[in-house]
Amino acid sequence: MNFSLLLTSLLLPAQALALSLSFIGPCDKEPLFETSQELSKEENVGVITTQVLENNDIEFVGSELGLNSAFGTPMGTEAYEIISKSEMYAYGWCYSVNGFEPALYPNEIAVKQDDKILWWFGYAHYKEGEWISQCEPSYKRKPDFLCAQ
């Protein structure tokens, strides 16, 4: 390697890697909130999420195990959209890490520098006695009870 090229690469500041965290709300695919932070040690999705929400004074109900509500979203029976006797949508918060949706609680998923955590308000669709989908982004449906202005 050329000495000047080696010297230049050693003198350039190292690119700081940071974990990113985004929240997509119920009615628009644009994030309600985004941030990034450097990690001093390995953490999990649940810890990082609750710390970020608390540190930024964002209203939420939940814990390291998951989010029941954030940014004023409904929860419990208020988060159900009943279509008929045999069909409904149940809404809540879903997450992914680097595009992967784990079937585990957030406190069970370790994250590291440069990971991307995405939370979105989504729905599960129940029809004719079966759950036919889960964690679909609710902004794709924009249900009136969430998005009517």
pLDDT 10s digits, 76-118:
999 999 999 999 999 999 999 999 999 999 999 999 999 999 9
For the residues of 5-58, what is the DSSP string, one character each?
Answer: HHHHHHHSPPPPP-EEEEEE-SS-SSEEEEEEE--SS-EEHHHHHHHHHHHTT-
pLDDT of residue 124: 97
Q: Which two tokens stand for residue 33?
A: 């909130």
pLDDT in tens, 42-63: 899 999 999 999 999 999 999 9
User: Percent of the chain beyond pLDDT 90?
Assistant: 83
Q: Which pTM value belongs to this model?
A: 0.86
pLDDT at 7 over 90: no
